[in-house]
Amino acid sequence: MAQAEELNGFMREHLSCGDNVGSTIVFYSKKEDKNALLGLVPTESVELVRVARYQPENILEALQAVENAEKTHLYVFPSGFAGSEIAVRWAYRMRGSSLVQVKQIECSGAQLIARKTVYANHVLGTFKLAKRPFCISLSPAIPPRPSLPCPFSLHCPTWSGSHVRYVYWHISMGPLTWTL
């Protein structure tokens, strides 16, 4: 549920109420969570995908099954290792661009300008993504202080909302096992 709150905060801070803000894809595992998740979705348009458990390849296959990538310019994934992994793998699969732990994005013609902290959070780096679709994961949100601006920003006036997809999941991760 924290991922939904993170995306809601991102949209609330940086998109006006009149904007067509795109659509959301939610992956979930428990039937009883479906209605609660619908109440947290940050967009009017939503697709729910039920999966047994989190496995990156299953998420990518399900995403491929529900997605029409020709219209989507930007995918926004939540912060954390899973959001970063899926953003990178989805960009590779769709032959697009990816960047993880992004704090700010803005459109520059057909390119996306993204900013993220580098060098142990001491420098704000600026990156230019040129291949669509753009797949980003958000930087972990720091609770805002009154004197500090929100860490995210989005300014893409030339894109209609149908070109933006927010993706998150509420799935049991299960035990992690490593084989060496």
Q: Is a pLDDT exceeding 60 seen at residue 72?
A: yes
3-class DSSP assignment, residue 11: helix
Mean pLDDT of 37-62: 83
| CA distances to 65, 153, 157 from 150, in Å | 34, 8, 20
3-class DSSP assignment, residue 90: helix
pLDDT for 163 equals 67
Percent of the chain with pLDDT over 90: 19
Q: Which long-range contacts (CB under 8 A, 24 or more apart) does 47-56 make?
A: 47/23, 49/25, 51/27, 51/169, 51/171, 53/29, 53/171, 53/172, 53/173, 53/174, 54/27, 54/29, 54/82, 54/169, 54/171, 54/172, 54/173, 54/174, 56/82, 56/85, 56/86, 56/89
Percent of the chain with pLDDT over 70: 71
pLDDT tens for residues 85-111? 999 999 999 999 999 999 888 877 788
Domains and CATH numbers, the chain: 2-170 (3.40.50.620)
Q: Is a pLDDT exceeding 70 seen at residue 147?
A: no
Highest mean pLDDT among 66-75, 113-122, 165-174: 113-122
Q: Is a pLDDT exceeding 60 seen at residue 14?
A: no
pLDDT for 169 equals 64
- Distance of alpha carbon 164 from alpha carbon 74, whole angstroms: 5
The conformation of residue 33, written as its DSSP 8-state character, comes to: G
- Distance of alpha carbon 113 from alpha carbon 161, whole angstroms: 18
Q: Is a pLDDT exceeding 90 seen at residue 84?
A: yes
> DSSP states of 103-166 as a string?
-EEEEETTEEEEEEEETTTTEEEEEEE-SSSEEEEEPPPPPPPTTS--S-EEE-TTS-GGGEEE
- If pLDDT is split at 50, 70 and 90, which confidence band does 150 have? very low
pLDDT for 13 equals 62
Return the exposure string of 98-133: e unless at least 16 CB atoms fall within 10 Å of the residue's CB, then b.
bbbbbbbbebeeeebebbbeeeeeeeeeeeebeebb
pLDDT for 171 equals 54
- If pLDDT is split at 50, 70 and 90, which confidence band does 118 have? very high
Per the prediction, the chain carries an average pLDDT of 75
Better pLDDT: 171 or 138: 138
